[in-house]
Amino acid sequence: MEIFDVIGKKASEAYKITADKTGKIAKETKLKLRMGELKTKINTIYQEIGKKVYEKHVREEEISIKEELEEQCTELDVLSDEMDNLLTQCLELKDKKQCPNCYAEIEKQVNYCPNCGTKQEKLKDVEEKEIEFTSDIKLEQSIEKKDEKKEKTTKEESKENNNLDD
């Protein structure tokens, strides 16, 4: 039984390495593309806000921009959230994290930021939340299912053995 567990683990690790090589680069490219799109959108909204504020305050036009500004600020918040999310995913792909003080890209394992020297908190949750490829998850699920089946068979076998003993 233990031998099967070890083989299962090794196979899934080997699969992960292959998936890393083929999937990571493509995934990073996709993330960067989306980040570029977001940046453009964010900049456009900033420009629009700037224009409105200019028209309202500098030209003293009699228009209410409050509602429109609120709408655009909400949109900015949403886009910024997505941007943060993509950035985190990008760092996870490279197995790196961002220093909370200077925002430099640093290795996950370091205790102190090499850029600014800030002590780094151990982020256990983040490490465990590694980005999994869908196929990886499927593979792991199927391994788990096999384990369940194995347990069931063992139980059934022991039942049968008990019956035989009776």
Interface contacts to Zn ion, rule CB under 5 A? 99, 101-102, 104, 113, 115-116, 118
For the CB of residue 120, give the shortest distance to Zn ion in the complex, in Å. 8
Please identify, using beta-carbon distances, which residue of 113 and 139 lies nearer to Zn ion: 113
CB 41 within 8 A of CB 79: yes
For the CB of residue 82, give the shortest distance to Zn ion in the complex, in Å. 24
d(CA 56, CA 71): 16
Please identify, using beta-carbon distances, which residue of 91 and 99 lies nearer to Zn ion: 99
CB 87 within 8 A of CB 98: yes
For the CB of residue 89, give the shortest distance to Zn ion in the complex, in Å. 21
For the CB of residue 105, give the shortest distance to Zn ion in the complex, in Å. 10
For the CA atoms of 10, 11, 13, 18, what is the dihedral angle to 10 degrees? 140
Non-local (6+) Cβ contacts of 111 within 8 A are 119, 120
Please identify, using beta-carbon distances, which residue of 89 and 118 lies nearer to Zn ion: 118
Please identify, using beta-carbon distances, which residue of 107 and 160 lies nearer to Zn ion: 107
Which tokens is 84 given? 């943060």
Q: DSSP code of 119?
A: B
Please identify, using beta-carbon distances, which residue of 84 and 132 lies nearer to Zn ion: 84
d(CA 98, CA 104): 5
Residue corresponding to tokens 């593309």: 33
For the CB of residue 88, give the shortest distance to Zn ion in the complex, in Å. 16
